[in-house]
Amino acid sequence: MQYVLGRSLMKVIKYSHYCFFINDNKNKLIYLALVALFVTSLFSCSPNQILASIQSDIEQTDRKGPVILEGATLIDGTGSPPRYNSLVIIKDERILTITDKAKYTATYPKDSAIINLTGRFLIPGLFDMHAHVASVLSFSYNQTVSENTLKALLDNGVTTIRNPGGPTNESVALRDAVAAGQIKGPQIFTAGRLINGLQFPTRFVEILANTEAEVREEVKRQADAGVDYVKLYVGLYPNLVKTAIDEAHNQGIKVIGHLYLTSWTDAANLGIDALTHGVPVSPFLLSKDKREIFIENGRGPFDHFLWLNLVDPNSTKIYEMINALVKNKVPVDPTLSIYEA
């Protein structure tokens, strides 16, 4: 019988192919989904050295039996205190037991693979909510680069990613290839090319839509291609954002946005499912005088510095934005940046 975990950890495990991710059919190397980065005291050896050592241990054992992780400090992601000197037993990519090593008195099966993780930490697989693994720049898709990126993410404990935009067919194909075990990588939830407006064309993989009919057609096209959600971009006005949201939801897929001509307040009230980047750059969140300064002197959607210098975080507009996000339960993927160092 499988061990029943807290809700948070169960969600992580579900989306990360449970505890182990076995991809390489030839070598049967096991990638830890409960984290490939086992931190040693003061980083006495590199994560790559640690992972290589763990994989070597696995290769020398009978991998058909249970895998037993001994001695790690387990942080399960539920808010519970760390469990020191833990014992985790996995069989057929499922967690069977999580307990304290000292409390486990049964005999290990003879075919068990025992891995000593004393002095290291074990955590649930990580989520990267903004990973453009198929490249978002126009005409830049490279299969080898994408595969290497996916493997690097998995090697560093990232077991689920959200690809927030890329060439539609290639992005869907990458997701499906990982799901089928054809290439190594974390589980992928993907968007296709960006849906943008004529006012702010970019160098990214996008389609420029000028009418509600064009927006609706593109959403249907991406839904037919198999995307998990669509990504709306900076040049869309609220009427086009609303059209995209309504059509996407009608198609059974979600909508995320990196917006500008539509404020976060309006997007939240229109029913968007998620927003990206932590700075809600939009002239419509500024006071009238500051808005004129921004439009006259700024560089549009990507001028974070000027917008941050002009915005009043205590203004009614910002409070209304926050209230709209909370009321409509719209998550924000902040993609944190360092502006000063």
The predicted-structure confidence for 138-179, as pLDDT tens digits, reads as follows: 999 999 999 999 999 999 999 999 999 999 999 999 999 999
Q: Tokens at residue 188, please? A: 């992928």
The predicted-structure confidence for 209-232, as pLDDT tens digits, reads as follows: 999 999 999 999 999 999 999 999
pLDDT of residue 111: 87
The predicted-structure confidence for 119-133, as pLDDT tens digits, reads as follows: 999 999 999 999 999
Q: Alpha-carbon distance 280 to 132, whole Å?
A: 20
| Cross-strand partners of 127 | 160
Domain's final residue, options 100, 124, 148: 124
Q: Alpha-carbon distance 277 to 156, whole Å?
A: 23
Q: Alpha-carbon distance 64 to 54, whole Å?
A: 17
Q: How many domains does the chain have?
A: 2
Does the pTM exceed 0.95? no
Average pLDDT of every residue of the chain: 84
What's the CATH number where 63 sits?
A: 2.30.40
How many of the other CB atoms lie within 10 Å of CB of 286? 22
Of all helices (H) and strands (E), which one includes residue 229? strand 229-232
Domain of residue 21 covers: 7-124
Q: Alpha-carbon distance 271 to 68, whole Å?
A: 46
Which comes out higher in pLDDT, residue 140 or 341?
A: 140
pLDDT band at 110 (very low <50, low <70, confident <90, very high): confident
Measured distance between the N- and C-terminal CA atoms of the chain, rounded to whole angstroms: 51
Domain's final residue, options 124, 146, 172: 124
